Amino acid sequence: MIQKENIDKTRLPKHIAIIMDGNGRWAKKRGNQRVFGHKNGVKAVRDTVEGAAELGLKYLTLYAFSTENWKRPRTEIDALMSLLVATIHKETKTLMDNDVRLLAIGDLETLPKNVATQLSKTIELTSQNKGLSLVLALSYSSRWEIIQAVKAIALKIEQGEIQAKNIDKCIFEQYLNTQNFPDPELLIRTSGEYRLSNFLLWQIAYTELYFTNTLWPDFRREHLFEAILDYQCRERRFGQTSEQMSESINVNS
C-alpha cells in the first residue's frame, strides 16, 4: 500500500473530485440490499475526508447524488436521503474538529426539506472553517448546471447587463455552481467503470482521470494517496509540448 510519506506535499492537487461508484455491487456481492452498500459507503466517505484533511488538500468534491439518480426506486432514494441527513448531522462535530468547511453544488431546491435544512445548518456552522472545503454534489448534473448558467446569462442579456459579444470563459464560469472553486486537477472514479456520468464536464477539461476497480465502500485514504501519487507521476501539458512545459517550469523556478 502507498504511504502518505511518498507524496510530494509541494505538488498536491488543490482540488480532487470523486465519482463514488459501486455501492450496489458491493452489497449484492454480500447478498445484501443496495442500501447496505450506501451505508458502508459512508465509512469510505469519512476515511477519505479525514485523509484529504490530513494531507492538506484544499477542495474535495464528492458526487453523492446525480440528477439522474432521482429515477432510482423510491425506497432507495428515501434511504439515501435519510442517510444523508443522518450522516451530515452526525459528522458536523467531526467537520468542526477538523476545520472542514461543508459546501454543496447542484439543484438543491429539489432536495427533500429535511435534507436541505440539515445541509444549510451544517454549511452555515462550518462556513468559517479554513481547512479542507468538502463539496457535496447533490441532485447535480453538468448538463443541468450548464443550462441554468445559459438561462441566467440570457436573462442578463435581456436586462441589458451583459453584452453577448463580451461573454468569455471567465464570465461563463461565474454562472456555474463551482464559480469559487479551482478546477479539479484529479478526478477519481471507483468500481472499474470508465464514464464521467454528467459530472463537472466543463470543469474537467484538463483534469487528470484516475480509474480504480475498488468498489466505493472499500475505498480508504490509502487509495486516495495512491491516486495522488499516480497523478504526481504524470506530465500535464495543457495542449503544449513537453519542451514548452519544462521551459516554463525553469522560467518560473
Active-site residue list: 21, 69
23 in contact with ligand FPP (CB under 6 A): yes
84 in contact with ligand FPP (CB under 6 A): yes
Task: Report which residue's Cβ sits closest to ligand FPP.
Answer: 24
Q: Which of 4, 14, 42, 47 binds ligand FPP (CB under 6 A)?
A: 42
Parallel, antiparallel, or unpaired for β 133-140 and 59-66? parallel
204 in contact with ligand FPP (CB under 6 A): no
Q: Which SS3 state, helix, strand or coil, does residue 154 take?
A: helix
CA distance 221 to 44: 8
51 in contact with ligand FPP (CB under 6 A): no
How many CA within 13 A on the CB side of residue 88? 27
CA distance 221 to 45: 9
With CB under 6 A as the contact rule, which of the stretches 10-18, 33-41, 50-58, 110-118 interacts with ligand FPP? 33-41
Q: 1 near 222, Cβ under 8 Å?
A: yes
Q: How many amino acids of this chain bind ligand FPP (CB under 6 A)?
A: 20
Angle between helices 113-125 and 74-97 (to 10 degrees): 10
25 in contact with ligand FPP (CB under 6 A): yes
Site residues (CB under 6 A) for ligand FPP? 20-25, 34, 38, 41-42, 45, 62, 64, 69, 83-84, 87, 136, 191, 216
